[in-house]
């Protein structure tokens, strides 16, 4: 079905009604059940004598979540109140996403019916036959049924469905749950739950137009990361997504295959010249005709168009990034093209080998059926990368790509039990490292050797503005000096432990034998003189992540959730750093535009002096800067940069020197839903 205005308006009304229902429901629960008032007053836990043991546990977890959120809201005038507001939003959003995701899974046959008929759904009725009445009344049994379902799905989608997630601590009471069922299952919603785009529109409509208008009225520039995210939630139309992806990812593969690819027909918007000539390795392009400047457009089109040789790649080495991914629409369509790319690469007899394994696809998957089964998981593990400053967007994008993978397997008639698990994807949230200073010092002090703790503290400091700057935070440069210094210090520690002959200097051989392996493992020293900074970082990062995992696992008692949230937030921060340190073949984006946030303004002016006047110009500069040679960027932005004098440096230095325009479309008003901006869509190729 097409997402026309009528369908979008109906979905917008659904999301608004669900948000109002869940926000009101959870506000009442926080106040009446858990003693948490919207103005920031929080009743002492011991005074909540009306709660049973399970509810008391939730009350404690809610307080830990509020403390965790408050620690990262130092710039707010009333941080405690802001933390409670955010808690309320994230609980309502997560519950809505979970039920919407289940409805979409039902339509795809991924789960038994569990929402479509409410507590009369077939899957729940089967569960009742097994569980019996030992779990309480029907409502309590339905909650237990959902918990079991969440546990199963969370293997692939832990960010959304993990039962003990701090984003999903609350659950609607029975009357509110029944009303939610009525809203989600209304007859006039038609077939929206079968469409991949539905979950993206839910994200788009969760924040109302009135809320965006109020933010702009209160301040010309975004005052925090949430305002920056909400102000720039504009859905990219499907045809724009296809146009930009066809002429970047599609174009690269088309040139690698010298035109011999099914993408020629699959990519509806791929721009091709009538007389293309694919050059061979080392071949120089002939000189253009002397009278070229005098030719008409028709005459120019009849001239041969020489395409420089583009060496092939194993598809697993093609990296695509959306640095402001929202709900993941560019990545969803790139998934479609990558399916064809993988199949064609497998068919090529002299296909390039993977940079990581040194083997070709055909060598790793001798049978075509094995490759087809593996493609969805390979695409998510190797190819698609997304960054956003809104954790809700990351939640949605991960869900959308998982659903797209399941659809691919369904089209192949692969039963759910036979499908590979999606154990890794690269959709990350750009946010500050956790703000609990005490936990940071506790964690850093326990790291051995102490050098690791010093690195952690420097990274935490450099990540403070990640929530506003997002992909514009050049964190890979911010920590480069720390990595170089750490490597040098590590090597000095190693050299002090050994002499040039390899004999221990701190201890004799017998003393080392007595100390056994424990001391060696604690020091964790290794010779780093011959390895690169990148390899050194990988090793250090692995040790820090292992320590974070151990820190979370050892956490017990009343602060167990706080330590787990600290460890999980820090791990997500390292995932963001990893994406920033990569180079990409394709960058696709609908970036934010306008002024930078108040907190990140100085950072962006310092990092992007040529493009600081508008966020979208800085995003384009950043995107071109992280491309591999001759690789491509596609963007839809405001068209102002192509003619205003304040963008002269952007045009002359970024668009014409560091890259070159390949295609350009002037789209005008009304393209990005409610955004009042004249838009342009264009693709650039990074210079060699």
| CATH number, residue 677 | 3.40.50.150
Mean pLDDT computed over 206-224: 65
Q: Which of 315, 319, 309 is nearest to 627 (CA)?
A: 319
Give phi and psi for 392, each to the nearest 5: -70, -35
Bridge-based pairing state of the strands 659-668 and 679-686 = antiparallel
User: How many Å separate Cα 366 from the centre of its chain?
Assistant: 32
Are 151 and 65 part of one and the same domain? yes
Residue-wise pLDDT tens digits, 2-37: 577 788 889 989 999 999 999 999 999 999 999 999
670 CB-side CA count, 13 A: 1
pLDDT score at 526: 60
3-state secondary structure (DSSP) of residue 163:
coil
Consecutive H or E run containing 476: helix 475-478
Q: pLDDT at residue 513 above 50? A: no
Cβ–Cβ under 8 Å, residues 324 and 592: yes
Cβ–Cβ under 8 Å, residues 47 and 542: no
Of the listed ranges 226-235, 300-309, 438-447, 505-514, the least confidently predicted one is 505-514
Q: pLDDT at residue 673 above 70? A: no
pLDDT score at 215: 61
Going from the C-alpha of 307 to that of each of 255, 276, 630, the distances in angstroms are: 8, 7, 12
319, burial (CB in 10 Å: exposed 0-12, middle 13-18, buried 19+): buried
Q: pLDDT at residue 522 above 70? A: no
Above pLDDT 90, what percent of the chain?
Answer: 48
Are 426 and 445 part of one and the same domain? no
Mean pLDDT computed over 163-191: 91
3-state secondary structure (DSSP) of residue 150:
helix
pLDDT score at 262: 96
Domain range enclosing 83: 5-206
Residue-wise pLDDT tens digits, 536-548: 888 888 888 888 8
pLDDT score at 584: 97
Q: pLDDT at residue 205 above 70? A: yes
- Could you tell me if residue 233 is inside a domain? no
CB atoms within 10 A of CB 537: 22
Residue-wise pLDDT tens digits, 613-637: 999 999 999 999 999 999 999 999 9
Mean pLDDT computed over 169-194: 93
The set of residues, in sequence order, having a beta carbon less than 8 Å from that of 329 and lying 6+ positions away, is 197, 200, 235, 236, 238, 241
Mean of all residue pLDDT scores within the chain:
86
Q: Round to whole Å and give the CA distance between 144 and 26.
A: 20
Residue-wise pLDDT tens digits, 137-163: 899 999 999 999 988 888 777 778 887
Cβ–Cβ under 8 Å, residues 93 and 392: yes
- Could you tell me if residue 511 is inside a domain? yes
pLDDT score at 2: 56
pLDDT score at 565: 80
| Tokens encoding 23 | 């926000």
Pick 528 or 51 by higher pLDDT.
Answer: 51
Q: pLDDT at residue 127 above 70? A: yes
pTM, rounded to two decimals: 0.86
**Can you list the positions of beta strands (E) in 381-474?**
384-388, 426-429
Mean pLDDT computed over 498-519: 42
Cβ–Cβ under 8 Å, residues 653 and 627: no
578-589 burial code (b ≥16 CB/10 A, e <16): bbbbeebbbbbb
Are 549 and 674 part of one and the same domain? no
pLDDT score at 213: 63
| Tokens encoding 196 | 């991949």
Residues shown for the chain: 688
Are 506 and 595 part of one and the same domain? no
Q: What is the DSSP string of 199-266?
A: HHHHHHHHS-HHHHHHHHHH-SS--SHHHHHHHT--PPPHHHHHHHHIIIIIHHHHHHTTT-STHHHH
Are 86 and 172 part of one and the same domain? yes
Residue-wise pLDDT tens digits, 309-363: 999 999 999 999 999 998 899 999 999 999 999 999 999 878 899 998 899 999 9
Going from the C-alpha of 618 to that of each of 260, 409, 465, 481, 651, the distances in angstroms are: 36, 39, 16, 23, 12
User: How many Å separate Cα 64 from the centre of its chain?
Assistant: 25
Q: Round to whole Å and give the CA distance between 665 and 246.
A: 14
- Could you tell me if residue 657 is inside a domain? yes
- Could you tell me if residue 354 is inside a domain? yes
Residue-wise pLDDT tens digits, 471-490: 999 999 888 888 888 888 77
Mean pLDDT computed over 270-295: 88
pLDDT score at 233: 63
Domain closes at, from 206, 222, 246: 206
pLDDT score at 644: 94
Are 425 and 450 part of one and the same domain? no
Are 162 and 35 part of one and the same domain? yes
Are 313 and 190 part of one and the same domain? no
- Treating both helix axes as pointing N-terminal to C-terminal, what angle do 198-206 and 5-28 enclose, rounded to 10 degrees? 60
Are 332 and 391 part of one and the same domain? yes
Site of tokens 């001798």: 366
- Could you tell me if residue 611 is inside a domain? yes
Q: Round to whole Å and give the CA distance between 309 and 628.
A: 15
Q: Which of 609, 588, 586, 573 is nearest to 470 (CA)?
A: 573
3-state secondary structure (DSSP) of residue 686:
strand
Domain closes at, from 533, 561, 589: 561
- Could you tell me if residue 215 is inside a domain? no
- Could you tell me if residue 443 is inside a domain? yes
CB atoms within 10 A of CB 135: 15
Q: Round to whole Å and give the CA distance between 45 and 49.
A: 8
CB atoms within 10 A of CB 283: 12
Domain closes at, from 526, 561, 596: 561
CB atoms within 10 A of CB 44: 8
Bridge-based pairing state of the strands 627-638 and 584-589 = parallel
- Could you tell me if residue 652 is inside a domain? yes
Are 517 and 423 part of one and the same domain? no
Q: Round to whole Å and give the CA distance between 43 and 578.
A: 41
Are 409 and 516 part of one and the same domain? no
3-state secondary structure (DSSP) of residue 628:
strand
3-state SS record for 64-113: HHHHHHHCCCCCCCCHHHHHHHHHHHHHHHHHHHHHHHHHHHHHCCCCCC
Are 319 and 411 part of one and the same domain? yes
Mean pLDDT computed over 555-578: 80
| Tokens encoding 432 | 């500050």
Confidence of residue 531 (pLDDT cuts 50, 70, 90): confident
Give the chain's domain count: 3
pLDDT score at 615: 93
């Amino acid at each position: 079905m097409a997402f026309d205005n009528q369908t979008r308006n109906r979905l917008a009304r659904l999301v608004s009604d669900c948000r109002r229902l869940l926000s009101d429901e959870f506000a009442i629960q926080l106040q009446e059940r858990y003693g948490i008032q919207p103005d920031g007053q929080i009743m002492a836990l011991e005074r909540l004598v009306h709660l049973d043991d399970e509810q008391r546990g939730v009350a404690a977890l809610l307080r830990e979540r509020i403390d965790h959120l408050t620690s990262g809201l130092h710039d707010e005038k009333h941080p405690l109140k802001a933390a409670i507001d955010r808690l309320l939003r994230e609980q309502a959003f997560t519950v809505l996403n979970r039920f919407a995701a289940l409805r979409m899974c039902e339509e795809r046959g991924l789960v038994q019916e569990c929402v479509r008929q409410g507590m009369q759904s077939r899957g729940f009725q089967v569960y009742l036959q097994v569980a019996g009445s030992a779990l309480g009344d029907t409502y309590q049994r339905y909650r237990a049924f959902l918990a079991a379902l969440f546990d199963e799905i969370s293997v692939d989608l832990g960010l959304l469905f993990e039962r003990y997630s701090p984003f999903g601590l609350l659950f609607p009471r029975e009357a509110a749950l029944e009303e939610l069922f009525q809203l989600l299952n209304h007859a006039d919603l038609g077939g929206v739950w079968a469409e991949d785009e539905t979950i993206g529109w839910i994200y788009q409509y969760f924040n109302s137009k009135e809320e965006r208008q109020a933010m702009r009225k209160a301040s010309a520039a975004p005052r925090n990361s949430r305002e920056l995210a909400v102000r720039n939630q504009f859905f990219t139309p499907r045809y724009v997504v296809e146009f930009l992806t066809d002429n970047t990812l599609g174009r690269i593969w088309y040139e690698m295959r010298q035109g011999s690819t099914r993408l020629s027909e699959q990519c509806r918007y791929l721009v091709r010249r009538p007389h293309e000539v694919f050059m061979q390795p080392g071949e120089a392009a002939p000189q253009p005709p002397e009278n070229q400047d005098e030719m008409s457009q028709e005459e120019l089109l009849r001239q041969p168009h020489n395409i420089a040789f583009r060496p092939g790649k194993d598809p697993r080495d093609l990296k695509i990034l959306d640095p402001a991914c929202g709900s993941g629409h560019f990545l969803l369509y790139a998934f479609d093209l990558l399916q064809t790319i993988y199949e064609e690469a497998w068919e090529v007899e002299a296909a390039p080998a993977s940079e990581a394994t040194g083997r070709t696809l055909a060598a790793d998957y001798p049978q075509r059926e094995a490759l087809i089964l593996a493609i969805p998981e390979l695409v998510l593990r190797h190819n698609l990368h997304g960054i956003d400053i809104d954790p809700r967007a990351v939640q949605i994008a991960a869900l959308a790509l998982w659903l797209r993978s399941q659809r691919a397997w369904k089209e192949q008639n692969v039963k759910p039990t036979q499908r590979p698990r999606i154990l890794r994807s690269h959709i990350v949230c750009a946010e500050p490292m956790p703000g609990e200073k005490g936990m940071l010092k506790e964690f850093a002090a326990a790291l051995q050797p102490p050098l690791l703790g010093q690195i952690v503290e420097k990274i935490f400091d450099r990540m403070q503005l990640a929530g506003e700057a997002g992909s514009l935070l050049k964190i890979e440069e911010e920590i480069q000096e720390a990595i170089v210094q750490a490597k040098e210090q590590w090597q000095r520690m190693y050299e002090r432990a050994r002499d040039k002959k390899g004999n221990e200097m701190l201890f004799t051989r017998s003393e080392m034998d007595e100390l056994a392996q424990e001391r060696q493992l604690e020091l964790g020293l290794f010779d780093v003189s011959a390895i690169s900074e990148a390899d050194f970082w990988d090793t250090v990062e692995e040790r820090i992540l292992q320590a974070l995992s151990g820190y979370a696992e050892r956490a017990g008692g009343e602060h167990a959730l706080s330590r787990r949230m600290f460890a999980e937030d820090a791990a997500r921060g390292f995932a963001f750093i990893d994406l920033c340190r990569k180079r990409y073949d394709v960058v696709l984006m609908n970036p934010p535009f306008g002024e930078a946030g108040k907190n990140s303004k100085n950072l962006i002016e310092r990092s992007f002096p040529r493009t600081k006047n508008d966020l979208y110009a800085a995003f384009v500069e950043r995107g071109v800067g992280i491309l591999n040679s001759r690789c491509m960027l596609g963007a839809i932005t405001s068209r102002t940069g192509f003619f205003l004098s304040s963008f002269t440096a952007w045009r002359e230095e970024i668009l014409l020197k560091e890259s070159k325009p390949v295609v350009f479309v002037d789209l005008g008003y009304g393209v990005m839903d409610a955004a009042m901006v004249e838009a342009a869509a264009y693709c650039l190729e990074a210079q060699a």
